[in-house]
A and B are shown apart, each in its own frame.
Chain A
Amino acid sequence: MVDNALEVEDLVMHFGPVRAVDGVTLRIRQGTVVALVGESGSGKSTVGRCIVRLLEPTGGTVRLAGADITHLSRRRLRPHRRDVSIVFQDPAGSLDPRLSVGDIVGEPLRLMRRKDISTKVSESLQRVGLRPEVAQRAPHELSGGQRQRVSIARALISEPRLLVADEPTSALDVSVQAAVLNLLADLQRDLGFACLFITHDLSAVEYLADEVAVMYLGQLVEQGPRARIFGHPAHPYTQALLSAAPVPDPAEQRARRPVLLGDDLPSAIDPPPGCRFHTRCPVAVDTCRTVVPERRTIGEGGHQVACHLVKDDGTGPDVRPTEGVAQ
């Protein structure tokens, strides 16, 4: 038994001059959930697409359950397809409108030439909380939340070891989002697959993720166990992300003051030298502008950070101005 469902080593993905992903290293142990968090343009979705080999990486390696799939041809990739599935943000755009729900959900099994597909489709639909009769319907007859359930049913029908969920709830309303997040948490616990949960919304992953990895402009700036990242974020960018998301409680929200980073995300064509975050970092010093920070382990559970200002024992600047007042 391989310990890691996924090993990504120094992953690089360039699109012409655009350095979308620039050296990402990430492991997901069997049966655990890692949240990959970042804002627009951080490269988080590109990482997801490299892992399911919708993209062939420019550099680095991707290993699924120990097998190197980085540069496999379509044909040689096929046996590994059942090991990994992906769910996208927009269920309307990722479900073929000409197929019935049953055909959509059963498609992975048909490609694997499995038998008894319709029974499996019924089971899979029921598992995501849909009635088996939904198989006869067309995707446009369903609501956004139901369509996302169909995407999940299709992704899980081949019993993958790894599910890549790319902003699966971002297009949904709050009340529907809650149901889909709960569903994913239940399925993950019951079926035991590993999951890379890609999101811009830290709050959505807090009760789902075992580990959190934070991405900025193509690179990981911090990763570690959930409780460490939420409780003791070390990187100024992680701290800023946590402080910027408003909490739905007026008394608490008004006691906080977010770190204001400025609006301009640097270009991924010509990323800043040194630490890529230094142009927006409120505590950057001269070293940050010239020397690329190494990734270092700063605490138990593999808490890692790439920042010059964080000491080896994990202490360092906290850019959040009123964190104490909020309590």
Chain B
Amino acid sequence: MKPVLAVKDLSVTFRTEDGPLSAVDRVSFEVGDGEVLAVVGESGCGKSVTAMSIAGLLPRTATVNGSVELDGTELIGADKRTLRSIRGREVAYIFQEPMTSLNPVFTVGHQIIEVLRTHIGLNRQAAHARAVELLKLVGIPSAERRVGDYPHQLSGGMRQRVMIAMAVACDPKVLIADEPTTALDVTIQAGILDVLRGLRERLGTSIVLITHDLGVVADLADRVAVMYAGRVVETAEVHDLFAHPEHPYTVGLLGASPAAGRHAESQRLNEIPGLVPVLSEQPDACTFADRCTRAVDTCTSSQPQLTDGPHRVACWNPVRDRVEV
């Protein structure tokens, strides 16, 4: 099957006062039709920069190389008009903090209607009806009334639902959700994850889910790409990744995540010693090597490439606990 979104060898470097900063290094992944791909990693791993570069949302201090193909259209280096027609219509975003993405001086209905009129050219009446429909789709009770609310009148969870309604207003092929539940309480988060799941099931939207939370990944993702210091270090189908993580960083991340009901008696959490490196350029080595307990000589002298196949790992000494029969 042809992927909806194909990212190939994507690199992003920022010009800063302290010289160049390499944020993303030759990242490749594909997202199939109706598939949820989780891009997971800790602060500074490049997951958000990767997301922003897809529809050209990065500032001008960023240099982007590589290829991002959306349904066969190349987006890297595309002119402004192409990008404008794609943003919102083919690729839509939702971000962590809905309050900063909504305009406080307009009603939420007004903001959804604006999207519908700009991108699809609906008339005012049709757009209003569709806006109410969209609010219902994302589970907002008494949508007919709520459509006239201003963002400050809504709770955080409701605002995020409105953001999702706006994002899917034009039935985009790909929805990029950048930490969509991180600012929300767990009881609210559960509802938002449910909405995203519903979108995939009812509209067949492909979702790129950017998150640091492995619980959220376990809940929603079909496939996972683990990022570390600007690189994808492992990618696999979700059950396979959690059951048989091969990259020592993935293993560390899984062991460090606390989970209610899973630490029977005073069990310690795994620690990953050391710090994420800040890189001016990407070395020909594994960037995790100095924190890795499994590092061998090759790790510091040569960069491991992702292996082929459904479960891909970039590691010179991967963990292989699988018993071959």
Q: Please give the residue numbers on chain A whose beta carbons come within 8 Å of chain B beta carbons, in ascending order.
A: 39-40, 143, 145, 173-175, 177-179, 181-182, 185, 200-204, 206-207, 230, 240-254, 258-265
Contact = CB atoms under 8 A, between A and B. Distances in A.
B266 interface: yes
Contacts of B6: none
A206 B264 CA distance: 8
B218 A250 contact: yes
A87 B242 CA distance: 34
Q: Which of A173, A204, A252 is most buried by chain B, counting CB atoms within 10 A of its CB?
A: A173
B80 interface: no
B216 A246 contact: yes
A203 B258 contact: yes
B185 interface: yes
A260 B190 contact: yes
Given A206-B261, A260-B194, A174 B185 contact: no
A152 B191 CA distance: 36
B155 A265 contact: yes
Interface string B206-244: 000000111111110100000000000000001100100
A263 B259 CA distance: 23
Contact of B42 (A174, A182, A206): A174
Contacts of A258: 187, 190, 194
A137 to B, nearest CB: 15
A198 B187 CA distance: 18
Contacts of B215: 245-248, 253
Given A250-B242, A258-B190, A242 B260 contact: yes
Contacts of B76: none
B302 interface: no
B271 interface: yes
Contact of B212 (A173, A201, A230, A247): A173
Nearest to B43: A173
B63 to A, nearest CB: 27
Given A179-B271, A204-B258, A246-B193, A173 B186 contact: no
Interface in B122-156: 141, 155-156
Contact of A182 (B186, B187, B269): B269
Interface stretch (B51-59, B165-173, B248-256, B313-321): B248-256
9 cross-chain pairs, A with B, having the tightest CB-CB distances, nearest first = A263-B157, A246-B215, A248-B214, A178-B269, A258-B190, A39-B185, A178-B256, A175-B272, A173-B42
A161 B219 CA distance: 41
Contacts of B85: none
Given A203-B259, A230-B261, A247-B261, A240 B219 contact: no
A175 B42 contact: yes
A206 B260 CA distance: 6
A143 B277 CA distance: 11
A151 to B, nearest CB: 18
A181 B258 contact: yes
Contact of B253 (A175, A244, A249, A263): A175
A302 to B, nearest CB: 20
A178 B254 CA distance: 11
Contacts of B191: 260-263
Contacts of B188: 261, 263
Nearest to A245: B186
A202 B261 CA distance: 9
Contact of B254 (A179, A243, A248, A262): A248
Contacts of B256: 174-175, 177-178
Contacts of A250: 217-219, 221, 238-239, 242
B267 interface: yes
B82 interface: no
Contacts of A177: 256
Contacts of B260: 202-203, 206, 230, 242, 245, 247
B242 A207 contact: no
A262 B212 CA distance: 24
A206 B239 CA distance: 25
A182 B216 CA distance: 23
